[in-house]
Amino acid sequence: MKRIFLFLVTNMAVMLVLSITMNLLGVGRYLTANGINPAQLLIFAAVIGFGGSFISLLMSKWMAKTSTGAHVIDPRAPGGRREAWLVETVHQLADRAGIGRPEVAIYEGAPNAFATGAFRNEALVAVSTGLLESMTEEEVTAVLGHEVAHVANGDMVTLTLIQGVVNTFVIFLSRAVGYFIDRAVLKNERDVGIGYYISVFVCEILFGVIASIIVAWFSRQREFRADAGSAHLLGAREPMIRALARLGGVEAGELPKSFQAAGITGGAIGALFASHPPIEQRIEALRRQQG
């Protein structure tokens, strides 16, 4: 589940930087000194929460290329038949999906693929050498269709919005609980004390875990939609079913932590935190949808 994990890590890092910046500017001290006004706190939380998500989104293509070492294929001068076929296939699928033609890249690794980017018409689709070597061209085309469907569905933007919402509530609730514990439980009548900061830290971890479950649930739902999208683009379900079955029989390559949810397959630390549904469920969903 590396694609989502990388997105989440980057998002948390950006939120931390934004939070520190806001505190250095005195915003955090102003809120606590004035009893934490709910409306002001919500604005503060939204700025940091959505800021982290959108900055992560804007950085997503650069992070993907850097973290995987992906080689972007020049469509005007592909390096051989395989690269020419990849570019042509992705461009054909993008045309069918009604989106701009994405950049196409190859990276070294075990079987996997991903799509990312802040804009539907300026996305990146990348496949691993392991996937190209372990699948037939028809199966690879189905995987590419899955990734193009992610782009056409606007999944990265939707994920960003969902992450921004949960970030906002994590920050808002953590500080509200911290202030309540500091004032009502610890009876601190002056400026916020150590109890506030400890409570906020602990609550951000706990609420962050719950937020991760919500994001992972959405990620699983979008995988079903992308599988169906691939079948629609190819005009048949069987290539995607065969590709999934083959992925179920090989060791799926792990993507860098921030891009796990973007991959064609993903790992799981327990069902609630899985970025991808089990292969068997995805195949069954395709068969049910197509009758």
Residue 151 carries which side chain, given as an amino acid letter?
Answer: V
Largest CA distance in the chain: 73
Confidence of residue 81 (pLDDT cuts 50, 70, 90): very high
pLDDT-above-70 percentage for the chain:
78
Give the chain's domains with CATH numbers: 2-63+155-290 (no CATH), 72-152 (3.30.2010.10)
Distance CA 32, CA 28 (A): 6
pLDDT at 153 exceeding the cut of 90: yes
Contact between residue 18 and residue 10 where contact means Cβ atoms under 8 Å apart: no
The answer to whether 178 touches 199, Cβ cutoff 8 Å, is yes
- Planar angle of CA 84, 87, 91, nearest 5 degrees: 140
Locus of tokens 């479950």? 213
What pLDDT score was predicted for residue 173?
86
- The pLDDT score that the predictor gives to residue 45 is 83
pLDDT range class, residue 131, cuts 50, 70, 90? very high
**Out of 43-47, 111-115, 132-136, 200-204, which region has the weakest mean confidence (pLDDT)?**
43-47
Please state which of the ranges 109-118, 204-213, 220-229 shows the lowest mean pLDDT: 204-213
Can you give the pLDDT at residue 268? 45
pTM above 0.85, yes or no: no
* pLDDT band at residue 59 under the 50/70/90 scheme: confident
SS3 of the chain: CHHHHHHHHHHHHHHHHHHHHHHHCCHHHHHHHCCCCHHHHHHHHHHHHHHHHHHHHHCHHHHHHHHHCCEECCCCCCCCHHHHHHHHHHHHHHHHHCCCCCEEEEECCCCCEEEECCCCCCCEEEEEHHHHHHCCHHHHHHHHHHHHHHHHCCHHHHHHHHHHHHHHHHHHHHHHHHHHHHHHHCCCCCCCCHHHHHHHHHHHHHHHHHHHHHHHHHHHHHHHHHHHHHHHHHCCCHHHHHHHHHHHCCCCCCCCCECECCECCCCCCCHHHCCCCCHHHHHHHHHHHHC
Neighbours of 40 (CB within 10 A): 14
Q: Which residue has the higher pLDDT, 56 or 251?
A: 56
Which range of 23-27, 36-40, 61-65, 95-99 scores highest in mean pLDDT? It is 95-99
Higher pLDDT, 277 or 3: 277
Task: Indicate whether 229 pLDDT > 80.
Answer: yes
Q: CA 51 to CA 30: how far, in whole Å? A: 20
**Active site (catalytic) residues:** 147
Tens digit of each residue's pLDDT (9 = 90 or more) over 231-285: 999 999 999 999 998 887 754 555 555 555 556 665 545 677 777 888 888 999 9
